[in-house]
Chains A and B, each alone.
Chain A
Amino acid sequence: MKLSARTAARTVATGARTVAAIAALALAGLTATACAPQTSDTSATKDEKSGTLRVWLFQEVGNKPKEQVVDAAVAAFGEKHRGTEVEIEYIPVETRAQRIKAAFNDPKSAPDLVEYGNTDTAGYVKDGGLAEVTEEFNAWDEAKDTDPTARRSVTVDGKIYGAPLFVGVRALYYRTDVFEELGIEVPDSQAGLISTAKRIHKAKPDLYGLAVGGAYTYGAMPFLWANGGELAEESGGTYKSAVNSPAARKGIEAYTSLFGDDNCPAAKCASMGGNATVTAFASGRAAMAIGGDFSHAAVEAGSVKGKYAVVPLPGVTPGSVAPAFAGGNNIGVLRSSSHRTLAVDLLKSLTGKDTQAKLFDAMGFLPTYTDVLADSAKKEPFVEPFVKTLGAGAKFVPASPGWAQIDASLVLPTMFQEIVSGRKDVAAASDEAAKKMDAAFASAS
C-alpha cells in the first residue's frame, strides 16, 4: 500500500505531462488485442488407474490422533490398490478458503480429494470444483445408514457431491456450580432460558447469564427455527428468503432480547462470534453458552473444567428441543482429478463407518451414520445431549450457491447487530436482510 502510494506520488511529481502520456498509453492498451481475464478448465480428461493421489484435510487443533486414523484408512486403501501412492496434506483451517479457491483455479496443483465445511457444498459445486458421485454413493452399501441431514449436506439439486465425514451440533453448556448456588433449575423452554439468563446476571453481575454473539449466526438459528421460522423457502429449485416472516421475526426477537445490560451488554456482545462466546464460558465469564460437541476440548482446557454440564437447547414448548444447525465437514472428489475411480475408492475408505468410528474415539467428531452414532453415544456419555439434539431433527442452510455469498457478506450478523445496537427494529432489519438474501439467491441461480 505504501509502495503504490509512493509510486502515485512520484507520478504526480513528474508532472501532468507524464499523466497525459500514461493516459495515451492506456488508450493504446485498450485498443490493442483484448486479453480476457483468466478462466481455468477444471474438467478432468482422464481416469488413470495408478499413480499418486493427493488429499487435503483440515489441520485440527491437536491433529495427531486424526493423522493416525487417516493413516489407518489410507493403509486399508493401499492393501486393495497396490502401486498407488497417497499423499496427505493437512491445510490450516484459517486459510482453507483461499487454498481451495486456488485449487479450483489451478487444476494442475489441485489435490484429488479435499475436506470442506458442509455449508460450502453448493458454492463449490457452482464454482465447478467438485465432481458428482451420485451413482457411486448410492451403490455404496455403507451410505444407506447415512443420517438424512448429513446426506442433505452433500446434495445439490438432487445430485451428490462427496461424502459426509462428521457432523457437529450445538447444545446448551451451563455451569452446575452457579445453578446450584442460586438454587435454580435448568431451563426447559426458550422463555425459561431467557428469564434464567437474566436472573443469573442480576444475581451475579460479573457473569453473562447466557453468552450470545451478534456475529454468532449458528447460535441464533435455533431460536429462529424453534419459533417455526425458516431461513429460506424453496419452490421449484429457487429459494426465497423467509427471515422476515412473522415466525422468524419472533425467533429473532427472542435471540436479540438476550443482548442488553440485563444479560450480555450489547457494547461487548454485539461483535462476538461463536468462538468468543465459548471462550467467555470456558474462562468462567458466562453461566451458560451455546457450544458444539467440538467445543468440548476448549471448555475442558478452561477454568470451568468439572463445573459444567450440557443439555439440548430448549425449544418453545416446555420439554422440547430447539432444532440445531447440522454443521460438520465433508470430503469431496475434485472435478479436475485425473484418478476419479481411485479417488472415489479412497473417499469411501476415508469416510467409511470404520474410519468414522475411530475418528470419534480419537477426536470426538460425531459420526454421520445413524448406527455408528448410536454406538458412539453409548461409549461416551458426554455426547448424549448432542445425539439427542440430532435425533430431535437438526436443520441445514439452504442448499443454494447463494448461501456462500450470504454467509461471506455477513447478511445475518449485520441484521442481528443492527437490532441489538438499536439502529433498526426487528421488522426493518429483517426486511433488509431478506432483500439482500433474495438478491444473492437470484444472482446465484
Chain B
Amino acid sequence: MTNRTDGPAAPAAGPRGSRRGPRRAGEGGGTPWLYLAPALVVLGGLLVYPIYQLGLISFLEYTQAQVSGGELTTFKGLGNYAELFGDSQFWQVLLATVVFAAACVLATLAVGCALAVLLTRVRAVPRLALMLAALGAWATPAITGSTVWVFLFDPDHGPVNRLLGLGDFSWTYGRYSAFTLVLLEVVWCSFPFVMVTVYAGIRAVPGEVLEAASLDGASQWRTWRSVTAPILRPILLVVTIQSVIWDFKVFTQIYVMTNGGGIAGQNLVLNVYAYQKAFASSQYSLGSAIGVVMLLILLAVTLVYLRLIRRRGEEL
C-alpha cells in the first residue's frame, strides 16, 4: 500500500518543480545505461522472454498433442491469426471487451475521484470510516468479492432482489444486466486505488494556490477545473492507464459471476475467451494469438495516450 501511495505522490512534484527543467538523461552517454543494466536484465527476463514465447507459440500449431509428444510441433505462420480474425465471435468479444472496459474505467474514475474529493471535505471519523470501507473492498480477493456479489444478487435467495422488490429477476440471464452486475463489482473493487491515489494527490496541492483561487472568487467547480485538476493531471494519467490495463484484462469477475462467459458466451471478454481457447480446449497456440492481439491493443492505447499527453507539453 505504501508503495502505491508513494509512487503517484512523487510525480505530483513534477509540475511544480521541474516542469520545463533540463533533460537529465541522455547527457552522460553510456553511463546511465550501465546503472540501469541490472534492472533491465531483470525486466528482460520477466517481461521480454514470456512475451517472446507468447509470440513464438502464436505462430505454431501447439495443442495438448504437441505438448505431450503425440504429434510434432509445426510452424503455422499466420494461420492462428487467420483463424482468429475469421471467427465472428472474436470480433463480438473484442467489441464487448472494449465497451465494457471503457465503461468500467469511466465509472471507476468517476466514483474514485468523487469519493477522493469527499474525503477532503469530511471530518476525521467519517473519513476514517470511508477509508476503512474502501480498504476492505480493496483487500478482498477478486474471487471472494465476485462470489459474494453473485450471492447478493441471487434470484432466489439474494437480499438485493428482496430489497428492490425485483422478485426472482435473474441478473445473469440478460446480456446487459449481467455486464452491469460485473461492472458494479469491478468498480467496487478497483475504486479504492483511484480514491486513495487521488486523495494523496489532492492533499499535496499547496494550500496557498487554493487560497489564491478562493480570494479571486473562484467557485468550487472552477477551482477543481482550473487549479486542482491540472496539478493532478500526472496522477490522473497514471490512474487512467492503470485502470485501462486493469479493466481490459478483467478475468476473475466475468469467469466467476457469469460462470465462464455467460449464457451462450454472451458475457465473454478477451481474457476469458483466451482462457477458454488456450486452457479449456487446450489450443495453446490460438490462445497465444489472442494474447498477442491483447498486448498490441494495450500497447497502442498506452502509446497513443502518452503521445497525446506529451504533445500538450506534460512530462510524466
Which A residues are within 8 Å of any B CB, using their own CB?
1-2, 5-13, 15-17, 19, 21-22, 25-26, 29-30, 34-43, 101, 104-105, 123, 125-129, 214, 266-268, 270-271, 401, 404-405, 408-410, 413-414, 417-418, 421, 423
Which residues on the A side are within 8 Å of B316 (C-beta)? 12-13, 15
Q: Which of A9, A34, A43, A266 contacts B245, CB < 8 Å?
A: A9
Establish whether residues A37 and B73, one from each chain, have CB atoms under 8 Å apart when the complex forms: yes
Known contacts: A37-B73, A267-B155. The answer to whether A129 contacts B48 by CB under 8 A is: no
- On whether A405 and B40 interact (CB within 8 A), knowing A104-B64, A126-B70, the answer reads no
Shortest distance from the beta carbon of B194 to any chain A beta carbon, whole Å: 12
Q: Say yes or no: B246 contacts A5, CB within 8 Å.
A: yes
Chain A residues with CB below 8 A from B71, complex form: 126, 128
The answer to whether the Cβ of B302 comes within 8 Å of any Cβ in the partner chain is yes
B187 close to chain A: CB less than 8 A: no
State whether A105 and B264 are in contact (beta carbons under 8 Å apart), knowing that A9-B241, A37-B57 are contacts in the complex: no
Interface status of B66 (Cβ within 8 A of chain A): yes
Q: How far is the CB of A343 from chain B (nearest CB, A)?
A: 18
CB of B68 within 8 A of CB of A13, answer no
If the complex has contacts A127-B68, A128-B71, A271-B263, are A34 and B48 also in contact, measured as CB distance less than 8 A? no
Q: Which of B40, B53, B172 contacts A21 (CB 8 A)?
A: B40
Task: With CB as the reference atom, state the residue of chain A lying closest to B64.
Answer: A127
CA distance A16 to B49 in the complex (A): 20
Nearest 7 pairs of A and B residues by beta carbon: A128-B70, A104-B68, A417-B264, A408-B281, A267-B170, A267-B173, A9-B242
A–B complex contacts, Cβ < 8 Å, 10 sampled: A5-B245, A22-B47, A26-B52, A123-B64, A126-B71, A405-B283, A408-B280, A408-B282, A409-B280, A421-B263
Residue of A at shortest CB range from B44?
A: A25
Would you call B49 and A17 a contact (CB within 8 A)?
A: no
A-B contact count (CB 8 A): 154
Contacts of A405 in B (CB 8 A): 281-283
Name the residue of chain A whose CB is nearest to the CB of B62: A37
Q: Which of B25-66 contact A (CB under 8 A)?
A: 25, 36, 40, 43-44, 46-49, 51-53, 55-57, 60, 62, 64-66
Shortest C-beta distance, A417 to chain B (Å), equals 4
A129 close to B68 (CB less than 8 A)? yes
B173, A37: Cβ atoms closer than 8 Å:
no
* A7 to B249 alpha-carbon distance, docked (Å): 14
- Contacts A30-B52, A414-B264; A25 near B40 (Cβ below 8 A): yes
When distances are taken between beta carbons in the complex, the residues of chain B under 8 Å from A268 are 155, 168, 170, 173
B251 an interface residue at 8 Å Cβ cutoff? yes
